[in-house]
Chain A
């Protein structure tokens, strides 16, 4: 109930926006190729829901798989780096260099390496999630001050004891922030990769419909993508609250 009330103003704003949009389109007689109204877009979604639905499943699958692969590798690497500082020193140059390159620049490379199937999308999504989660988790694992570490040591905790009882809980908020930033990034990375080369998926529909000057379908695909990302984001926020209940 509280949750419902908290999203009420946002829902109101969305409804007002849609109504204004529709009214403006009808009033000024804006042609569809510049900006179709919400009803026209809904109509187009109704016509091609089968194609949109099956593409959406592929896109969401790729985005989620990429997200999981990227996040798991990132958390594993961050823990490894904290346990063995030598690894951190050796791999930092790669992380720093990769981090300054925009992930979209790697899309052609992913397509050349992994082909047009789902693996190139999973790869690029994993990469774009990986760096942000890795840097966040690493920062989080290092938050406990040395006094707290010393205290646990004096009670006989080993490296893993310190990690499990102190560092991991301390890293949770930063880790969750990383995940939250990472999820939309993985969706965007997947759609961008699909636009440049794929057999199916929302990005590919957008690309093809643009080429066929079918802007209603472009808008319908964008709408579907927005709703899907919002749902994913909502689920993630709900999981966050369970994971970091103390903040």
Chain B
């Protein structure tokens, strides 16, 4: 077995191609660290993860063990084969400098944000802002209450908890290790995460 490990520093972007059949484990090293994530088909990046397609197929807005992530072309991209946490977010999206001004105030305009990471990392692959779609937030807790109330609340992850995905096609994985410091998504303290890829 060939194993490749990466530690993604706190607040940093990361990308890597995961080949069909390989597994990818994401480890929340210090606990409650949101990992914003989008997958693209490595062969044709116009095909990418679709939150709508994924949640409609399983008729549930949370991701967990057994979830298959579907593309905008209706094809399986990856499957969750192990999960210590129980549920992960599909609907909270990525923080951005611009949305931070709405959520917290204009004083947060210059704080680093996930969309900065996403577009920078996509730029390394010839992609850009139009390729940013509703993303996955691994380890992030976003309940929806009876009246529709929705918000990012205290996490249910913990140090060392992880999830593992198996690639069902060759995918480009783009991650923003979330730098947000204005809500509980990172416990107000962004920390590193580890990615382990196995053949």
Do they bind each other?
Answer: no
